[in-house]
Structure formats: C-alpha cells, structure tokens
Amino acid sequence: MNVSIPALVAFALAAIAPAQQNLANAELHTLPVQGNVYMITGAGVNIAAQAGKDGVLLVDTMPAALAPKIAAELRKLTDQPIRYIVDTSMTADHAGGNDALRPFGATGATPVAGGGPTIIAHENVLNRLTTPVTTKETPPLQRGLPNDE
C-alpha cells in the first residue's frame, strides 16, 4: 500500500477539524453518580463535579470554549460558587477551562488573591504548564494555573 504524506496530513487535519468545530455545538449532559457527585459529559470529555452546601469541587475543566456550558450545567445543580478545581493533566481537555471558569469561583473568603477557585494539581502539571518545551518557545500564559501551595 502506497500512501503519500500529503494524503496522510489531509486525513489528519480532516479528523481534527470537526472536533474543534463541535465545541461550539457541543451538548453537555449531567449524570448523577451518587449523592451530590455528578459527571458532566460531552464533546468527548468528562469532568466530575461535587456540589455541596459550601460550593462546588470540579475534577478537570474541559476546554475553555465549554466554560459557559459547564457553568450552565452547574447552575442546574447549585447556586454555590466553584471552590476547588483539581487538574489531573496539563492538556486542554483537562485544564483548559481553568481561567475561563474563574468568574464562577468563590470570592471573599477564598485563599486565592483576587478571588476564584483554588486550583490543585500535581507539581508536574504546574511545571509542564509553565515551562517551554524548547528553548525557542515562548513561555505559556500564566492564567488558570494551579495556585494551591
């Protein structure tokens, strides 16, 4: 079988393009897990949410483009703010919505300067989000980073 490199690249780009376009049209669904624990699913990614009387804990945040839809799903569960976000990876489908969900975070009695949720992650997630991969690369933006010390 003889496949050209341009054909492979075109196939790969065609596979990626619908996934990016689908974010605007993505539908999120909230599924009960147990008690006040839920799974929000859609666009090929999942996050866990625990909605308590003191606020919401999220495990991962999906891509930033889905933040308004995530907030709408959370409002169906509670009127409490997001208190904590736990990032399990540095990739956009896990931590991409951190900064975009900041306005839905706690204010006032929060340990985060300026308000917003406390973002928790393994030290390596923070290292990977703040360190350029190559010496020629510009360091990443410093928003939505883990802030729990």
Q: What is the pLDDT of residues 96-132, one digit of tens each?
A: 788 888 888 866 555 555 667 888 877 777 666 666 6
The answer as to whether 88 is a domain residue is yes
Where in the sequence is the domain holding 83, given as residue range(s)? 28-130
**Residue 33 covered by a domain:** yes
The answer to whether residue 59 is domain-embedded is: yes
Considering the domain boundaries, does residue 143 fall inside one?
A: no
Gap between the Cα atoms of 50 and 114, Å rounded: 23
More confident residue, 136 or 67: 67
- Domain count of the chain? 1
> Between these two residues, 41 and 20, which has the higher pLDDT value?
41
pLDDT band at 16 (very low <50, low <70, confident <90, very high): very low
Asked, for residue 32, whether it belongs to a domain, the answer is yes
Residue 145 in domain: no
CATH code: domain of residue 89 = 3.60.15.10
What's the rounded mean pLDDT across residues 135-143?
60
Contact present, 141 and 130 (Cβ < 8 Å): no
CA gap 148, 51 in Å, rounded: 20
Mean pLDDT of 8-26: 53
The Cα–Cα gap between 61 and 99 comes to: 9
- 3 located within any domain: no
Q: What is the DSSP string of 52-79?
A: ETTEEEEE----GGGHHHHHHHHHHH-S
**pLDDT band at 31; cut points 50, 70, 90:** very high
Q: Evaluate whether residue 87 is within a structural domain.
A: yes
